[in-house]
Amino acid sequence: MNDVHIGGSVGGNFSIGDNVTQSNMIVNAAEARQGLLANLASLREQVTADHPVALTRINDLEEEATAEEIDPKSGLKAFDRLKAALLGVAGVTEVLATIEDQVRSLFSS
């Protein structure tokens, strides 16, 4: 067994344990916006008119993503409302997970 003693202060990301893998994905805002808009278009095709609230929430997030100046708080809030509206819609889990990654990249400062 190894004895490890750590002192001082730590800043940033760190991991402890055996066989730890870490990676960071840096996506610029333009790439995140482009991917997000493409996935919102795909999602819009999957969501039928039977779910008008979900369609409205897709439009809301698209509006946030295309704003001249990004507002992180409003963008994340629009995404949270979209997720809530999609709870009853089958078959959108995969695209929603991809959208979440893009939202976090675009609206996290």
Q: Per-residue pLDDT for 7 more than 60?
A: no
pLDDT at site 10:
45
pLDDT of 18 over the 80 cut: no
Each residue's pLDDT tens digit, 35-74: 999 999 999 998 988 899 999 999 999 999 999 999 999 9
Averaged pLDDT for residues 86-98: 81
User: Residue 71 to residues 22, 48, 75, 97, 107: CA-CA distances in angstroms?
Assistant: 29, 29, 6, 21, 7
Q: Which of 109, 106, 87, 108 is nearest to 39 (CA)?
A: 106
Please report, for the chain, the start and end positions of each structural domain, with discontinuous segments joined by +. Answer: 29-107
The separation between CA 46 and the C-alpha centre of its own chain, rounded to angstroms, equals 19
Q: According to the model, what pLDDT value does residue 90 have?
A: 73
Please give the pLDDT value at position 63. Answer: 97
- For the chain, the straight-line distance linking the first and the last C-alpha, in angstroms and rounded, comes to 41
